[in-house]
Amino acid sequence: MKILGVGSFGVIYSGLTEQAAIDFLITKRHGEKKAAFVRFEIGKIDLVWGEQGTSIKEGHGLVHILEKHPEIISELAKIIIEGVVYKQGNDRLLIVKNVGEDKNQVAAVRLDWNGNEKTWLVSAFNEP
């Protein structure tokens, strides 16, 4: 793991990808992992530790997912790698993986941060 610098989300790391990147940030509990995932339809997707929220609709990043939707963490890499990409507005994408009759797992990806272009995982959850 190499440190690239410091950004809006803390220390910026390069190196590990997919589930290994998730496990690394859970251990570190801060920062971000550049290009943790790559999808040909999207490009590189960063993984950020993020911030906790006071409600289910607040907060973002891996800490938000751990706090509000911990049951999805073990499936997160599969959702991002195997799911179908849908556009949700100008600044968001959803990656949806069907896991059974009328049941989906969803990863939400933002395409900006504070007005700057950045593709990063903002949340993930089970959709009934």
For a pLDDT cut of 70, what percent of the chain falls above it? Answer: 99
> What number is the average pLDDT over the span 98-121?
94
Q: In what order do the strands lie in the sheet with 32-39?
A: 2-7, 10-14, 32-39, 43-48, 116-127, 103-113, 92-100, 84-87
For 42-79, write each residue's pLDDT tens digit. 999 999 999 988 776 788 999 999 999 999 999 999 99
Q: How many domains does the chain have?
A: 1
> What is the pLDDT, as a whole number, of residue 56?
67
In this structure, are residues 84 and 96 in contact, taking their beta carbons and an 8 Å threshold? yes
Please tell me the distance from the alpha carbon of residue 103 to that of residue 4, in angstroms, as a whole number: 39
Name the residue range of residue 86's domain: 2-127
pTM: 0.93
- In one letter, which amino acid is 47? L
More confident of the two residues 56 and 24: 24
Determine how β-strand 32-39 pairs with β-strand 10-14: parallel
